[in-house]
Structure formats: structure tokens, C-alpha cells
Amino acid sequence: MTEEKIVIGEATKYPLNGILSIPNETNGLIPAVVLVQGSGPSNMDAKVFNNLPFKDIAEGLSEKGIAVLRYDKRTFVYGKEMKHEAGLSVKEETIEDAILAADFLRKDSRIDSNKIFVIGHSLGGMLAPRIDAEGGAFAGIVIMAGSPRKLEEIMMDQNDMILNSLNAFLRWIAKKQITALSSKLENIYNLSDEEAKSTPVIGKRVKAYYFKEMGEHPSTHYLSKMDKPILFLQGEKDFQTTVHKDFEGYKKIMGNKPNTTFKLYPNLNHMFMPSVYGELLKAKKEYKVAQHVNKDVINDISDWIYTV
């Protein structure tokens, strides 16, 4: 594998450093994937404490003859500049750059332009169908630990999970904070765009518009119209998105659509690494344990790409 340093959006206001992993041994044009990170600022390796899941995936797929493009997230590089943008949405944060990454691959003469895929993890998986529809135009989509639900629903579920694990005194304090957040989130779709842009929801920086804009473009809208190949992957011990509400939720939406594949992995967490503590409250401790993405996951993605 050769790793080439590249820049996504070189002519834009927000150029981003990235790496294109190219297999050393190739026979004709190469299939390729774009990796899209989850929520929050994230570097090109999707680094979480001592884990580098996107580096693992890039190296694993390149060993299988698949080129992989990964790049720093816009908010990771330009967070200070962007924190003052009241109208910040997932479009500016994630979608635009993923489409630029797909265009970058199409211009590379080594890449099979008909075999470019997107792999979205967590929030990136939730957005992958929209990225495809708004210009990604991929040959297929891989959704890792995604959700068909709205972002605010997932957040409130996680808050409830934490609430139920606290002692009585802490629960009383936390419940007041969670109730206040819930009332803000419940009202976001009653706001105009301009009102939403000036209404803080979490702290002073995260505005209602971020949730409103994403909620008005639900993944279910894109998935219901889609007939291209989609691979849904989920770790059984994931405590951030769940088998019951998210993985099974996707199954209900997709019904008997052809070209849809589901894979559930025993004892793997949100990052598709072995579960350590298996609790949301211990997420920080769990992700500080240095591990690697399970090889079966990488093999399944590779096999799927070659059979599409």
C-alpha cells in the first residue's frame, strides 16, 4: 500500500488535508471508497483517544486492492472560524466535503469511476444516503453504526440511559438539565430558519438550526427512494446506536428491497472493536483501550464491494 498526501477542496475556503491509500499491486482500474466520520471534530483517522478506526479500515481495504480516501473533518481544522457561523449545518460540516472527495476520486485515472463507494460511520452513516443524493452519486453505500432516527432522538435516548444509571441525588440534578434540553429540542421544528439560527440549544455555540436542518432531511427520505446496493453494519454491544432501535429500524425501512445487506457482529462496540465495558457511562474508559477494527468487518466490506 502507498499512502499519498492529498488536499480535498483545494480551491475552496476550507481546504482539507487527506490521505489516499493506493494498493501496490493493481490489475486494471481500482475500486475506491470515501470515508465519512461521525459527529464532532475529527481527524482523518477518526481518532478517538487511543484508537484510529479509519486508519485501520484504510489499511485493511487497501490490502484487499481497494483505494481509500480519508481526510480531516472541516470542523477539526477550522473549528475556531466556524464556531461563529449561526447557520452551520451538516451540509457545511460534512456533506460538501464528502462530495468533493468523490469528485477527487473520479478525476484519478487509476480509479474505476463506476466503482466509487462511501463508508459512513455513526453520523457519517446517517448522512451517507443524503451525500449520495446531493452529488456523491456512489456505486453503493456502507452504513456503519448509523441510525434512521433523528439526531435529537438519539441524544435524548442516550441522556435517559445515563439518567437511569445515576444515584438518586445525581439523577435529580441531571433530570432538570435533561428536561430543559428536551423542551428546546421539541420546539425546533416550530422555529423559522432565522429563529433557529439564533436559538442556542447546547451551550452558546450549537444552535437549533443544526438539528432542524438535518431533521428536515431525514435519511428515511433518501433510503425509501434508493435502489442501489447498501450494506448496513452494526456491533451488537454498541451503546451509542442500538440493535433494537437503529439496526432493526433500518430493516423495517428497507423492507424487501433488493441489494440490501445487513451484518451484525457479536461483542463489537460502536467502533467495531471488541467491547470492553459495554456501558455509555464508561465510554471514555472503553475508547482509551487501544484496539483495532475487527478483521471480519473489513473482510465483509471488501467482499461486498467486489460482489456489487
pLDDT of 49 above 70: yes
| Same domain membership, residue 260 and residue 163 | no
How much is the pLDDT for 308? 92
How much is the pLDDT for 200? 86
| Same domain membership, residue 246 and residue 201 | no
Out of 158-167, 179-188, 207-216, the most confident range is 207-216
Q: What is the pLDDT of residues 99-142, one digit of tens each?
A: 999 999 999 999 999 999 999 999 999 999 999 999 999 999 99
Residue at 213 is within a domain? no
List active site positions.
Answer: 122, 238, 270
| β strands within 72-205, DSSP E | 111-121, 140-144, 200-202
Residue at 70 is within a domain? yes
| Same domain membership, residue 172 and residue 135 | no
Residue at 10 is within a domain? yes
| Same domain membership, residue 115 and residue 46 | yes
Cα–Cα distance for residue pair 181/222, rounded to 1 Å: 28
Q: What is the pLDDT of residues 264-296, one digit of tens each?
A: 999 999 999 999 999 887 888 999 999 999 999
Looking at the structure of the chain, the number of domains it has is 2
Distances from the Cα of 282 to the Cα of 38, 102, 131, 279, angstroms: 19, 36, 32, 5
Cα–Cα distance for residue pair 98/118, rounded to 1 Å: 9
Q: What is the pLDDT of residues 168-201, one digit of tens each?
A: 666 656 666 666 777 788 889 999 999 999 988 8
| Same domain membership, residue 69 and residue 14 | yes
| Same domain membership, residue 268 and residue 193 | no
Residue at 272 is within a domain? yes
Mean pLDDT of the chain: 92
How much is the average pLDDT of 256-269? 96
pLDDT of 160 above 90: no
Residue at 72 is within a domain? yes
CATH code, domain carrying 133: 3.40.50.1820
Percent of the chain with pLDDT over 90: 77
| Same domain membership, residue 125 and residue 37 | yes
The whole-model pTM stands at 0.93
Residue at 229 is within a domain? yes
How much is the pLDDT for 41? 94
For 111, what's the count of Cα atoms within 13 Å in the CB-facing half-sphere?
Answer: 25
| Same domain membership, residue 134 and residue 45 | yes
**Which residue among 187, 208, 229 closes a domain?**
208
Cα–Cα distance for residue pair 65/53, rounded to 1 Å: 19
| Same domain membership, residue 223 and residue 183 | no
Residue at 69 is within a domain? yes
Residue 210: which pLDDT band, with cuts at 50, 70 and 90?
A: very high
| β strands within the chain, DSSP E | 2-8, 16-22, 30-36, 67-71, 111-121, 140-144, 200-202, 206-207, 230-235, 260-265
| Same domain membership, residue 245 and residue 133 | yes
| Same domain membership, residue 111 and residue 181 | no
Residue at 94 is within a domain? yes
Range of the domain at 101: 2-148+218-307
How much is the average pLDDT of 33-62? 97
| Same domain membership, residue 143 and residue 166 | no
Q: What is the pLDDT of residues 231-246, one digit of tens each?
A: 999 999 999 999 999 9
